[in-house]
Amino acid sequence: MSHTVTAAAESTKLDSAVRWEIIVCVAAGFTTLLDSAVLGIGVPSIRASLGASTSEVQWILASYSLTFGLALVPAGRLGDVVGRRRLFLAGLSIFAVMGILGACASDPSMIVLARLGQGIGAGTISSQVLGIITDRVSGKARAKALGAYSTAGGLAGVSGPILGGVLLKYSDADFGWRLLLVLNVPFAVITLILAFRFLRRDRTTRSGASIDPVGLCLLATTTGLLLWPIVTRTSVTVAAAFLIGAFGAAVAFWFWERRYAERGGTPVLLPSLIASRGFRLGTTVALFWFGSILAVNAVLSLYLIEGLGFAPLSAALIMTGSSLAMALTSAFGWRLVARFGRSAVVFAIVGEILVILGYIAAVNLIPREHLIPVLVVLAVLSGVASGLVDAPNRVLTLEYAPPGANGVAAGFLQLSQRLSATISLAAVSGLYLGVLGSSPDGYGRAFGIALAVCVVMLTLSLAGAVADRRRRRT
């Protein structure tokens, strides 16, 4: 009898310990995603204060996602070897220090370097978060944990722009954006304290790491060659040369990954994942969805502040409905997916396409005095769609992961999202600013052209979701 009571007590204690670990993971998600939410509202101030060029703005927006994505896989591998707690604490420390360095920047290039460093820290944190959730819980519990993680992102999206807007309103123009870049540091410190207290101690060996540095370098080279002609002014010949080089690096990456796997290593791109059509389709959904949504929000921030002349706080309040709706729908989105499956994601993507078309029509057709209520409603609808796509698609896609490959599958899925964000933020924001450069008063035209690219991306995401729905039905 006493043995039974003791076992029950230990089970309860274990459940409580897991809950606290999930809370730490959610806090880390809030901290890292708060950074992204704040930056968009601060870019116009950075442009005005430091005289950042279009290319520099593109790098400021895209650099974080680039190193975030590239850090995911090696950090995930190292977490398996040296322990997730150690990597979590190290990544969070790097993230906080780089935020402070970015706030002390004297020119845009220093901000870019700091953002690259922060991306490494955030990618290291995120890979451990995904690993901890995957290791600790499964089934509906995992879906709920991932939903909570997405909810934290929505709450960061709500609070970040508002806090940023307040800081910019009541601070000196050359000092306010510095406060934005350091805003996440207090949250990082709190999360560090929670992690020290509640994350279980690492019990791992320090041998057998398989990181695939060649594969990562080839992937980084491919992304860099794609990104360079987007963020720099080059001739058509030079741009074509970069694109050919990117294609060559991608082909080399593909063949290297196959060879590395045949030799017994764990590649960035597991052949078993690529062989899974369901995983490929789910990754396609995430790839085009994530990049397009971040690009839409970045361009909308620029338009509201520079095009319509709103103060950062006013622009943040207009966009808050999106993040709030995402936080709410993420909390129960997994229930809809459990009932309706991939169909829920399909209809949510269709809804988002209609929302973006609504943005384009509203900006170009509705008088300014009637525009704001329409933008607020559209932002809320966009948030609802995001809550029904992001975490649910992640759960549906990871169902296709082969046995023993959950961590690698989750890492590669997020890697694809971050590389998509890198290219999309640079390309779409650059297109918007480029059109304005040739037509300084053409804000509506620039806004429409930039968001049309996002509609194309969402259409590709929709194609992947529809194909996966048909696959599940058969």
Same domain, 182 and 241: no
pLDDT digits (tens, 9 = 90+) for 380-404: 999 999 888 887 888 888 888 776 6
Same domain, 142 and 259: no
Same domain, 252 and 389: no
Q: What is the pLDDT of residue 404?
A: 60
Domain span including residue 75? 2-200+266-473
Same domain, 368 and 393: yes
Burial pattern 379-390, b for ≥16 Cβ within 10 A else e, equals: bbbbbbbbbbbb
Same domain, 374 and 342: yes
Same domain, 229 and 169: no
Work out whether the CA dihedral 257, 258, 262, 266 comes out positive or negative. positive
Please report, as a single letter, which amino acid is at residue 408.
Answer: V
- The answer to whether position 189 is within a domain reads yes
Q: What is the pLDDT of residue 334?
A: 65
Residues 6+ apart with CB under 8 A from 352: 289, 293, 382, 385, 386, 389, 458
Q: What is the pLDDT of residue 353?
A: 97
Burial pattern 307-340, b for ≥16 Cβ within 10 A else e, equals: bbebebbbbbbbbbbbbbbbbbbbbebbebbeee
Per-residue pLDDT of the chain (474 residues; tens, 9 = 90+): 434 434 333 333 447 888 899 999 999 989 988 877 788 788 888 988 888 888 888 888 888 888 888 888 778 777 777 788 889 999 999 999 999 999 999 999 999 999 999 999 998 998 888 778 877 887 777 777 877 887 787 788 778 888 888 888 888 878 889 998 999 899 999 999 999 999 988 765 545 556 778 887 888 888 788 878 876 767 778 888 888 998 999 899 888 988 888 887 777 777 777 778 888 899 999 999 999 999 999 899 899 988 888 888 888 888 888 888 887 887 776 677 777 778 889 999 999 999 999 999 999 999 888 899 999 999 999 999 988 888 788 888 888 877 666 667 777 788 888 888 888 888 898 899 888 878 777 899 999 999 999 999 999 999 999 999 998 887
Same domain, 190 and 57: yes
* Residue 206 DSSP code: S
Residues 6+ apart with CB under 8 A from 200: 17, 21, 85
What is the distance between the alpha carbons of residues 71 and 147, in angstroms, rounded to a whole number?
A: 23
> N- to C-terminal Cα distance for the chain?
51
CATH label of the domain that carries residue 101:
1.20.1250.20
What is the distance between the alpha carbons of residues 173 and 167, in angstroms, rounded to a whole number?
A: 10
Instruction: Give me the residue label for tokens 């807007």.
Output: 165
What is the distance between the alpha carbons of residues 451 and 439, in angstroms, rounded to a whole number?
A: 17
Closest listed residue to residue 60, CA positions, set 75, 72, 73, 50: 50
Q: Pick from 265, 283, 299: which residue ends a domain? A: 265
C-alpha separations of 288 from 64, 249, 418 in Å: 18, 21, 11
For residues 433 and 57, the answer to whether their CB atoms sit within 8 Å is yes
- The answer to whether position 205 is within a domain reads no
Q: What is the pLDDT of residue 378?
A: 95
Please report, as a single letter, which amino acid is at residue 395.
Answer: V
- The answer to whether position 207 is within a domain reads no
- The answer to whether position 140 is within a domain reads yes
Please report, as a single letter, which amino acid is at residue 244.
Answer: I
Beta strands in 45-125 (DSSP E): none
Instruction: Give me the residue label for tokens 């309103």.
Output: 169
Same domain, 192 and 313: yes
What is the distance between the alpha carbons of residues 298 and 373, in angstroms, rounded to a whole number?
A: 19
**What is the CB neighbour count within 10 angstroms for residue 260?**
19
What is the distance between the alpha carbons of residues 430 and 233, in angstroms, rounded to a whole number?
A: 11
- The answer to whether position 206 is within a domain reads no
Q: What is the pLDDT of residue 40?
A: 78
For residues 271 and 257, the answer to whether their CB atoms sit within 8 Å is yes
Report the percentage of the chain scoring pLDDT > 90: 31
- The answer to whether position 154 is within a domain reads yes
Same domain, 306 and 443: yes
Q: What is the CA radius of gyration of the chain?
A: 22
Same domain, 293 and 183: yes
- The answer to whether position 306 is within a domain reads yes
Q: What is the pLDDT of residue 406?
A: 64
Q: Pick from 242, 265, 288: which residue ends a domain? A: 265
Same domain, 256 and 278: no
What is the distance between the alpha carbons of residues 73 and 9, in angstroms, rounded to a whole number?
A: 37
Please report, as a single letter, which amino acid is at residue 171.
Answer: S
> Domain tally for the chain?
2
Q: HEC string of the chain? A: CHHHHHHHHHHHHHHHHHHHHHHHHHHHHHHHHHHHHHHHHHHHHHHHHHCCCHHHHHHHHHHHHHHHHHHHHHHHHHHHHHCHHHHHHHHHHHHHHHHHHHHCCCCHHHHHHHHHHHHHHHHHHHHHHHHHHHHHCCHHHHHHHHHHHHHHHHHHHHHHHHHHHHHHHCCCHHHHHHHHHCCHHHHHHHHHHHHHHHCCCCCCCCCCCCCCHHHHHHHHHHHHHHHHHHHCCCCHHHHHHHHHHHHHHHHHHHHHHHHHHHCCCCCCCCHHHHHCHHHHHHHHHHHHHHHHHHHHHHHHHHHHHHHCCCCHHHHHHHHHHHHHHHHHHHHHHHHHHHHHCHHHHHHHHHHHHHHHHHHHHHHHHCCHHHHHHHHHHHHHHHHHHHHCCHHHHHHHHHCCCCCCCHHHHHHHHHHHHHHHHHHHHHHHHHHHHHHHHHCCCCHHHHHHHHHHHHHHHHHHHHHHHHHHHHHHHC
Q: What is the pLDDT of residue 194?
A: 94
Instruction: Give me the residue label for tokens 């690009």.
Output: 295
Q: What is the pLDDT of residue 1?
A: 41
C-alpha separations of 401 from 81, 273, 276 in Å: 21, 6, 8
Same domain, 217 and 342: no
Q: Is the pTM of this model over 0.75?
A: yes
- The answer to whether position 393 is within a domain reads yes
For residues 419 and 69, the answer to whether their CB atoms sit within 8 Å is yes
Q: What is the pLDDT of residue 7?
A: 38
